[in-house]
Every structure is written in C-alpha cells, then in structure tokens.
Amino acid sequence: MARISSLRIATDFSEHADRAARRGARLARALGITGARLIHVAEKPGLLAVQSLLADPIEEAMARAMDASLDAIEADTGYRLSGDIQDGKITEILLEGADAETLVVLGGQGAHAWQDRALGSTATRIVRHSQSPTLAVRGEAPGDYQRVLVPVDLSEVSGQALDMALTIAPDASLELLYTWAPVTVLYGSFVSISGDMMAAYAADQQAAGHDGLSRLCEAHGLAPERVTCTVRRDFPARGILHRARELNADLIVMGKESGHRLEKLLVGSVTSQVLAHADADVLVVPRAPG
C-alpha cells in the first residue's frame, strides 16, 4: 500500500476549511501521523485591506482564530494539530517541501465561493501544482470513509491511486470504474461508422476493461468479494460523477499524470470536472516518480 508520513491542512477558518481540518485530523490519527499541521496563509493584499477594519492587530486576530480552531478540532476528533500561520502565497507555502508521502488536505470550497467559481477554485490551483496526494474535502467528517470509488484508465497511475485508496480507507467498500469513450469522442460527431464496426469497438472496449480491472485487482491481491469492478460506456467525467452519486460514494480517488505542461495547466479535464462537480471528497494522486 501507499505510505503517508506527514499531513498538512490548509485553512481560512471558513466552514469548508473546518470540515477539511476535521477530516485531516481523523486521517492523521488513523494513519499514526504525529505533528500534522494546520496552515493558514495570510496573503499580503488581503491582509492590508482588512487591517484598518479591525480593533486588534490582524496577527492577534489570526492567532486567536487558529487557537480556537485547534481546540475545536481536538475536542471533536481527539487529535491535536499543530498550528502554523504564514504570510505569502498559499500554493507555494502549502506545497513547499511536500513529496509523495505528504497528504495535502483542503476544503473543496473556500470562504470566497463566488471567486472560486469565477477564477478557478483554490483546490484546483493546488492540485494543478501539487506533486503530493491532495484531498479536497466537501462533506462532513463524522467517521471513516465508507464507500470509495476509484476511476481508472488502466495506466500505471491507476495502480498508484488504488494503493492510496487502500491506505486512506482500508475498511471501506471499494469500486473500480473503467469508462470508455463513445466513438464520437474519438473521431468526431459526423464520422460515418457502420453498426458492425461500432458493435465490435464496444465489445473490444468492454473486454479490455474487464480484463484490465481483473489484472489490477490481482496485482493488488484483492479478492473478488473485496472489490466491485464496473465497466461503462460514457464520457469519463460524466460517468465518474454519475456512478459516484449512484453509490452515494463519500470518496473518489483519481490518479493524475504529472510533469506535462498542458497537464499542469488544465489539471486534466476529467480531474478538473470531477473536482468542480463532485458531491464526494476527491483525492487526486499524482503519478509517482520512477
């Protein structure tokens, strides 16, 4: 299974960030991680804009908010996070020194929800740059994950995503999902393809999907009763979101190729769409080096 040796959680002290902090604290306790950090980054322009509106210095207000958050999280989860307040850019500070064994946790939506929708969410920006597994938390965190969906494309990073799912949610019900695109996605809407050719293509994709999922399960030592394998014809992002809602999944774990310039820009169109529209938490696992 994958190894997680450190954990850091971003907070802006919003309700969404508090959910992420509680989830992060529970994961840190379950994984046996000591010294998990709750990080608040005060970006200078915003800091200066509100300073004149406050009776006390902004640093004191942030320190009180951090202490209150740490106390509330410990009372709720039984785990004491360490607090860290810094000035700078959140992406740079949150990801500095993070590696494949660092789990980065943040709220799926921050305090400025209208800005997130208009400009691209903080979660998407961090996932775009992160070389560490990154968890965007959307739901409440009353306990361990129960229903996990792992969309795969049968590449190497799919196996790494499955490893991470087994580490984060070892006791959850698990489903692997392989979606294959309709012919029109590959060749355009006006392509002329015979019915026989389309049927042969569909049969090949179904067979390849089932064979690939079986080999993936075998490689990870997963017995048939431990995991459900599903193959569907659908557009990938739509298929993932639809299946997650059918399952009432509370976690989606996805692999992400890393290093390619276009990939960093778009985060992968499927990943970005799932991050934007999923009801469940989303854990994005970058391809490990080597």
∠ Cα 276 280 286 (to 5°): 65
Residue 157 shares a structural domain with residue 128 = no
Close Cβ partners of 43 (under 8 Å, ≥ 6 residues apart): 87, 88, 89, 90
Residue 35 scores a pLDDT above 90: yes
Report DSSP state, residue 226. Answer: G
Q: Name the domain count of the chain.
A: 2
Q: Are residues 31 and 75 in the same domain?
A: yes
CA distance 234 to 251: 20
DSSP string, 178-196: EEE--HHHHH-TT----HH
Whole-number Cα distances in Å, 265 to 26, 40, 251: 32, 25, 24
Are both 13 and 57 inside the same structural domain?
A: yes
Reduced to 3 states, what is the DSSP secondary structure of residue 213? helix
Q: Do residues 64 and 29 share a domain? A: yes
In this structure, the answer to whether residues 153 and 272 fall within a common structural domain is yes
User: Within this chain, do residues 192 and 85 fall inside the same structural domain, yes or no?
Assistant: no
Predicted confidence band at 190 (pLDDT cuts at 50, 70, 90)?
low
32 and 55 belong to one structural domain: yes
Greatest CA separation for the chain:
74
229-251: pLDDT as tens digits: 999 999 999 999 999 999 999 99
Domain that includes residue 246, residue range = 144-289
- Of 28 and 259, the structure prediction assigns the larger pLDDT to 28
Question: Are 164 and 282 found together in one domain?
Answer: yes
Mean pLDDT, the chain, whole residue set: 86
Q: Is 178 in contact with 209 (CB distance < 8 Å)?
A: yes
Is residue 125 pLDDT above 90, yes or no?
no
Q: What distance in Å separates the CA atoms of residue 74 and residue 227, rounded to the nearest whole number? A: 34
Query: 267 and 170, same structural domain?
Result: yes
6 and 128 inside one domain: yes
Same-domain pairing of 206 and 254:
yes
Most confident of 49-53, 119-123, 226-230: 226-230
pTM above 0.85, yes or no: yes
8 lies in the same domain as 98? yes
Helix (H) or strand (E) holding 274: helix 269-277
Rg (CA), the chain: 20
pLDDT in tens, 200-220: 888 999 999 999 999 999 999
Question: What is the rounded CA–CA span in Å between residue 125 and residue 240?
Answer: 21
Structure tokens that stand for 255 in this block: 């692999």
Residue finishing a domain among 116, 138, 160: 138
CA–CA distance, 103 with 112 (Å, rounded to integer): 24
Residue 194's Cβ-side half-sphere holds a number of Cα atoms within 13 Å equal to 3
The enclosing domain of 16 has a CATH number of: 3.40.50.620
d(CA 189, CA 56): 61
- Per cent of the chain over pLDDT 90 is 61
Helices (H) and strands (E) in the chain — how many of each? Answer: 12, 10
Distance from C-alpha of 103 to C-alpha of 279, rounded to nearest angstrom? 21
| Helix (H) / strand (E) containing 243 | helix 236-247
* Residue that is last in its domain, among 138, 153, 174: 138
Q: Locate 16 and state its tokens.
A: 């969404």
Give the end of a domain, one of 138, 169, 195. Answer: 138
Q: Is the pLDDT of residue 108 over 70?
A: yes
Distances (CA, A) of 27 to 7, 124, 181, 278: 9, 21, 35, 21
Which pLDDT belongs to residue 290? Answer: 62
Are 227 and 215 contacting, i.e. CB atoms less than 8 angstroms apart?
no
